[in-house]
Structure 1
Amino acid sequence: MLSTLNLSVFGTFHTLLALVAVAAGIIDLSRRGEIGSGTRPGLTYILFTAATAITGLFIFRHGGFGAPHMLAIATLAVLAVAWAAERRARAATGLSRYVAVLGYSLTLFFHLIPGLTETGTRVPLGSPAFSGPEDPMLKALVGAGFLVYLAGAAVQAARIRRTRREVAPA
């Protein structure tokens, strides 16, 4: 099966890390409306997303250093900023809270890009859904995913704003 999908053992390991991360992120997001290190699914998401990004730096399926590697670096940077902001935002108020919540959600969107690209260029076997990373349909789906992220980010920001009003002294 792995050879049929053109996945190495390392690539399979990387993919499994990503699948665990995405599942944990979706669980935390659906339960609490956000991803954060204070829950088991949230912490699992953060750690497995970092591991996915790090292992992704060692995969060169499309040649040398390229867009997937830049996305991995961007993911690690956003995770670091969100993690630092979360540590600072324990009181559920201030800009740090927005940075943490929206940053972690942004990294979930980042998972969508290689997930769609790598799956869609391999499946269905023999006639993949996308011709490659530049396929217009793939770009449209990633664009739609970004719109979903923006809508979700607006909902999260409104919830934080509501919480800030409830916490603020009268």
Structure 2
Amino acid sequence: ILLYNLETSQCLKKMGNSLGDFTCVNLQNSPPNMLVTGNKDRRVRVFDLRKSESLCSLYAHQLGVSAVQMDDWKIVSGGEEGLVCVWDQRMGTKLWEMHARHPVRHVWFNSHSLITANVPDEKTPRGTSIMDDDFAAHRKHRGTIYAYEFSADQLAVESVLPICRSSYDEVTGYNYNIGLAVPYDNI
């Protein structure tokens, strides 16, 4: 990844030396001086723009990473296999995941919501009859938009997650109490 100064057209920095190709980059929604990337080598990497090497590398997906976004402590990644993952960047652990049929082409989140768009690779299926060309007859070829909600009542004052306050006396599930549930809306 090459970082350029738009005023001078000079290359300021070269980041990354992974063997695979970078497939997605998100600088706009990242914290200051941070960059999150996805790669065909199935890893999500976070870079500090003041350095050249990655701060963390997360083994994320089976077929490659297709969409990424991060905030101060969370990373959301989407993969070609349809998997959406929410990560805690500070600990390098997966907090939540959900699988859909089609590759994830877009992820967006804030403190309350997570939106994902899953779009099939083949958008114009061809069949043997006239009915086979009708998109209404091909549900498996339709994309899907999912809306998830981070449950506000599970978050404590000052946004400290319950898992951080837990006594660890009881076993919790894979969601680590971040409050994401099955989609409340499916478009």
Structure 1 length normalisation: TM-score? 0.30
Structure of greater relative contact order (alpha carbons < 8 Å, 6+ residues apart)? 1
Structure 2 length normalisation: TM-score? 0.28
